[in-house]
Structure 1
């Protein structure tokens, strides 16, 4: 039995931001979200570099080590961002989050840096498969904040690690795919304003990927959508 991803991406500017610094990729083996930062147009440049570096991984050999493939691609993006900032002082400080999942056979490799999230809905149960690289998450880990308090904290958007041209080591997770798994990657424009219970109910309640994705964007809009809202919904399907 072989698996493929049936995936769909949506990127929406939200209701406040004048530009969209998010970029997504939705393939049959690779899905990814990058949320740029550093001010227009630098944030957009960084996220485009990240996704452009990751996109060729879609065509990598299915029997290749998927974690290595993602690490190498993110490393290449990191080096290119450094080269751009070295050449143009106006882009100094630009960076991007990256969250990517690669399907290789029955293996799902996850690589992550920043606060764009990865979720897995399996048998009706939602789990977050990435850890936010944020100041408030470190407080939650230390017991200083509850997850609910972290959602309302004024510094909840303070990201502690991004792809920015310096030394980095993406966090990685290896999973075994199961038929009918549903994956969600999203920028914090969704996860900051729509809680996990609502995300879970939407992923479970809208079997059609496009309807599901549009409903998630609608929920972000109803919550004010102060940031760009970008997401990929992908279903693991047996061929």
Structure 2
């Protein structure tokens, strides 16, 4: 059994008057579990915001768990809809989005990830990053071409190596963590998905007080205030869920 305990979500544009390229799916019940997602439209291309909305709307209208777990078909359907959109006008020809979603139930956690949003699990007073960014930065680090220190401040972090678009090869990471391997506190699991405009501020200072870490609402509110105080560098989104797994 999967019991919902708490949820939190926000999604804002980088600045007032600017269109938000991020789209989110707040936790929705799907059969015996909950589905949540964040998509980040690639802002350098016209139509990115609509592409992210298309991806999230497809997840929002997914009817069965079996549809969700057929990842190859699901992503192919989303890509097909984005291609259809890109063909409506030449200015949308390169419309693209990232997409990261998670489904959690009594069996465990399933994650599918394309791009540079991130999934985190809370363990004690820390957040454990589960996904790897599909960026030039991460590829250079993984291939030991450059060190993280050398690449800091370069554009490599903002250059995606995959996304959902008509003219980009789509390479998704998809994995499952069984329930017995999930970090639990009093039978509860805490999960966050963040867009890159949010998690870049977590990277800079990955900590809050114990009281804040143990309350999703306080974490979400304090984290939003931190981003706004330090001035957003991109659209910023977060979706979180606390569930009791029995």
Q: Which residue of structure 2 lines up, in the alignment, with residue 140 of structure 1?
A: 141
Q: Which residue of structure 1 lines up, in the alignment, with residue 132 of structure 2?
A: 131
| TM-score, length of structure 2 as denominator length | 0.83
Gaps of 5+ in 2: none
C-alpha separation in 1, matches of 2:210 and 2:111: 19
Q: Does residue 78 of structure 2 align to residue 106 of structure 1?
A: no
| CA separation of 1:192 and 1:185: change in aligned 2, threshold 3 A | same
Q: Does residue 68 of structure 2 align to residue 60 of structure 1?
A: no
Q: Measure how far apart 1:35 and its partner are.
A: 0.4
Q: Which residue of structure 2 lines up, in the alignment, with residue 76 of structure 1?
A: 77
The C-alpha deviation readout for 1:135-171, integer Å capped at 9, x for no partner, is 0111110223334554432331111111113542411
> Which stretch has the larger CA shift, 1-10 or 41-50?
1-10
SS at match of 1:131: coil
The C-alpha deviation readout for 1:15-60, integer Å capped at 9, x for no partner, is 4782211011112401100000255861111000000011134x52
Q: Which residue of structure 2 lines up, in the alignment, with residue 46 of structure 1?
A: 51
Q: Measure how far apart 1:234 and its partner are.
A: 1.3
Q: Does residue 9 of structure 2 align to residue 2 of structure 1?
A: no
| CA separation of 1:106 and 1:17: change in aligned 2, threshold 3 A | farther
C-alpha separation in 1, matches of 2:161 and 2:151: 15
Q: Is the 8 A contact 2:40 2:52 kept in 1?
A: yes
Give every structure 1 segment of 4 or more consecutive aligned residues whose post-TM-superposition deviation is greater than 6 Å: none
| CA separation of 1:204 and 1:95: change in aligned 2, threshold 3 A | farther
C-alpha separation in 1, matches of 2:218 and 2:17: 24
| CA separation of 1:95 and 1:65: change in aligned 2, threshold 3 A | closer
Q: Is the 8 A contact 1:182 1:236 kept in 2?
A: yes
Q: Which residue of structure 2 lines up, in the alignment, with residue 205 of structure 1?
A: 212
Q: Is the 8 A contact 1:14 1:221 kept in 2?
A: no
For residues 17-56 of structure 1, the aligned pairs below 5 Å read 18-27=18-27, 28=29, 29-38=34-43, 42-56=47-61
The C-alpha deviation readout for 1:102-140, integer Å capped at 9, x for no partner, is 124322110000001111112334221111000011111
Q: Measure how far apart 1:176 and its partner are.
A: 2.3
Superposition RMSD on alpha carbons, in Å? 2.6
C-alpha separation in 2, matches of 1:169 and 1:41: 22
Length, aligned pairs only: 234
Q: Is the 8 A contact 1:3 1:105 kept in 2?
A: no
Q: Which residue of structure 1 lines up, in the alignment, with residue 230 of structure 2?
A: 223
C-alpha separation in 1, matches of 2:178 and 2:150: 33
Q: Is the 8 A contact 2:193 2:240 kept in 1?
A: yes
